[in-house]
Each structure stands twice: as C-alpha cells, then as structure tokens.
Amino acid sequence: MITAKQINFFAFIICFLLYLTCYFRFAGQAILSVIQIISAIFLTFEVFSQQGLLEIKKQVKTYWISTILNIGILFFFLVSSYGMTFYR
C-alpha cells in the first residue's frame, strides 16, 4: 500500500503542476482520475481478499467515493466548459 500511496502522491503533484498552466488543467485531472481508478481497483482486490481489516476496508470504500466524485467533477467541467455531450 505504500507504493500506491507514493504513486498517488506523484500523480497529485503532476496534476497540481498542470493546474498552474491554462491549457493542461483537464489533462492533469484526467490523468489523476485514471491513476486513482487503477489504484482503487488494486486496493480493493488487495484488501478485500484478506480476512479482517475492517478499518482499512472502510478507508478503501471512502477512497472509492472520493475517486467517483473526482471523476464526476471532471465530467461536469468537461461538459460545462467544452459543451461535450455523451448522448445524442
């Protein structure tokens, strides 16, 4: 889990640096979202395959909620800023 934490921290720093530019903000957010989804899937399989660990399981559920909210915010900004639609 230390590796997942380091990867997320590195991705967060890159996302923050991209937010300082005008053009690459959403690209940084998209990269961070993809990395968080992969981390959440990895953590889910790693933690829920073991017995016990109730506190860590709660934290993984909270991590999933924050990841889904992050993706929702990204889609909201894409739709509102660029007028993108995902339906006809």
Contacts of 25 (CB under 8 A, 6+ apart): 18, 19
Structure confidence by residue, pLDDT tens digits, 18-40: 888 877 877 787 788 888 888 88
pTM value is 0.67
Q: So what's the pLDDT on residue 9?
A: 85
Q: Which residues of the chain have pLDDT under 70?
A: 1-2, 83-88
